[in-house]
Chains A and B, each alone.
Chain A
Amino acid sequence: MNFTDFNVDEFFGLNDDTSLFMMLIWILPVVIFIFYGQRIQLQITGAEIKKSIKKLDTFKTQSRIQLLDYIQHNCNPKTESTQSIDQMLDYFSIPPVDLDPNGIIPKIKHVIRLREDYTRNNIKSIMPDISDEQLNKIQTLLEITTSLKMIYKIINHLFLTAKKQNNYPLILPLQMMLPFIMEEATASYKAIAAFKADQPIGDSIGPIVVGKMMLNTSKTEIAFQTVMSRVDYDDRRLILLKARGPSSNVGRIADALHEIIKDTKLDAIIMVDAALKYEGEDSADISQGFGAAIGGVGTERFDIEQIATDQGIPIFAVIVKQSVVEAITLMTRDIAQKADQTRDRVYELLQNNTKPGNTVLVIGVGNTIGVPQ
């Protein structure tokens, strides 16, 4: 090959009929994308994210309006409640420092309980005549509205930070996570209607199973907003435990367990709960396993596991699989139809894994909205 007769004009096509204008048509965009490509991508991605932020803003505003409307029309507030509710929407909790995590669980529990108790007291001071059920409902609606507000603030902050610094890579994590965040935010917003109407949600499957077992038995309140009853099944002594319904609350299962073990020797614990399914799994599938099936930040689970380990009590879990959306919105038909099957699975577990004469604690874990006992 001969490289000595290299001709620049021929190489760039300047000798033939190609005009300078046509050359600019294709070379100019290439140059623009090389120098300004990231900014253009930032603009396009930013426009998509802005749409989602606008939706989050709507959720935040509408949930606040629905909460204030509910309070005005149903709770007969003593004083003007809007300012107090807006203050409560801005409450924050500072988690304990975790540089030395030893002993952190009681600190987290203390901060969470503090927030719950003081919010409850503040609501009661605005509306002294409301019932416990309505108080729990307002607390739940307040939590939903607060979390929607927080989601909006965080996403908006990340977006504006990336835009301010014209930093495209900074917006990429937000773009990747946004579909998951929007799914949860949409589900939370839809959950408001179910909570206002006292309709059971997907997470209520545990209380439904145990609540049905508790019908026509005598109940006692063993811990704050947590009820217990004793029944016999197939020569086993069952202690049934769930949050007190039909108000919206999850009870204090760990505190109840502390009380029960003071005078009762447990041979097994069975926990019935909703659990998140993987993509591709069918909703409402029932599964069985080992360990404490309880959600939340982990303080209750820590206590239950500690007691079970100290006393050598086996813990069995029966879960009903569902998506995040199904867990916090009105219960679907598939999940509702599985309540009896789940109860039968619990009985099967009792027969296969315990002996006659054993004392077994059966816990219905979850939000007990719309589920009495």
Chain B
Amino acid sequence: MIFSKKEIIIAYTVEKCNLCKKQNKRKFKEGDILFSKCDSCQCGGVFEIDMIYGQAL
């Protein structure tokens, strides 16, 4: 219909530091797997992928 909007879902990845619990939300990229380790945190800990989800734009 003319006024119906198609919902656009964007996938996001949330990384969480295993020490200071700081969270970092970014767009999902290929290869992201839950619980995998990513970059280091400023506190000395390591960011791990805590959540992957889709959110409507």
A interface residues (Cβ-Cβ under 8 A, vs B): 190, 194, 197-200, 208, 211-212, 215, 246, 329-333, 335-337, 339, 370-372
Contact = CB atoms under 8 A, between A and B. Distances in A.
Contacts of A329: 9, 54
Contacts of B11: 197, 199, 330
16 contacts: A194-B54, A199-B11, A200-B52, A208-B34, A246-B34, A332-B53, A333-B12, A333-B53, A335-B53, A336-B14, A339-B51, A370-B34, A370-B52, A372-B33, A372-B34, A372-B35
Interface residues of B, number: 15
A13 to B, nearest CB: 44
A162 to B, nearest CB: 26
Contacts of A211: 34-35
A246 B33 contact: yes
B35 A331 contact: no
Contacts of A190: 9
B35 A197 contact: no
A331 B30 contact: no
Given A199-B28, A330-B9, A330-B11, A372 B36 contact: yes
B26 to A, nearest CB: 14
Interface in B1-55: 9, 11-12, 14, 28, 30, 33-36, 51-55
Nearest to B7: A190
A197 B35 CA distance: 16
Contacts of B30: 197
B54 A331 contact: yes
A215 B35 contact: yes
